[in-house]
Amino acid sequence: MKKDIFIGMFVGLVANAIGLFLTATFLGKGDDFTTVIKAAAAEGFLGKLISLGAVLNLIAFFIFIKKRKDYRARGVLLITVFIAVFTFVFKLFQ
């Protein structure tokens, strides 16, 4: 059970990282990833990019639900909630 939750958490982190990379690449107007992240941090919308990156967690969550891997889906959900709280706190202190 714990192993499945950790697998789900890992998948959620990887999906969020890939989503962040894709979001920064598509919305970056041709700039590289690090330039987009630095500009987003300087202009105050890094939290929004991270939140958009979490959209891929939805896909992972529903795949796990469809395959009846409920504990893995729970891990993805935990990471998604953690990212939401992180972006809220990040935005609050920015």
Q: What is the pTM of this model?
A: 0.85
CA dihedral 11, 14, 17, 18 (to 10 degrees): -100
Can you list the residues of the chain whose pLDDT is less than 50? none
pLDDT at 74: 95
Contact partners, residue 30, CB within 8 Å, separation at least 6:
none
How many CB atoms neighbour CB 81 within 10 A? 11
pLDDT of residue 47: 84
Phi and psi torsions of 29, nearest 5°: 55, 40
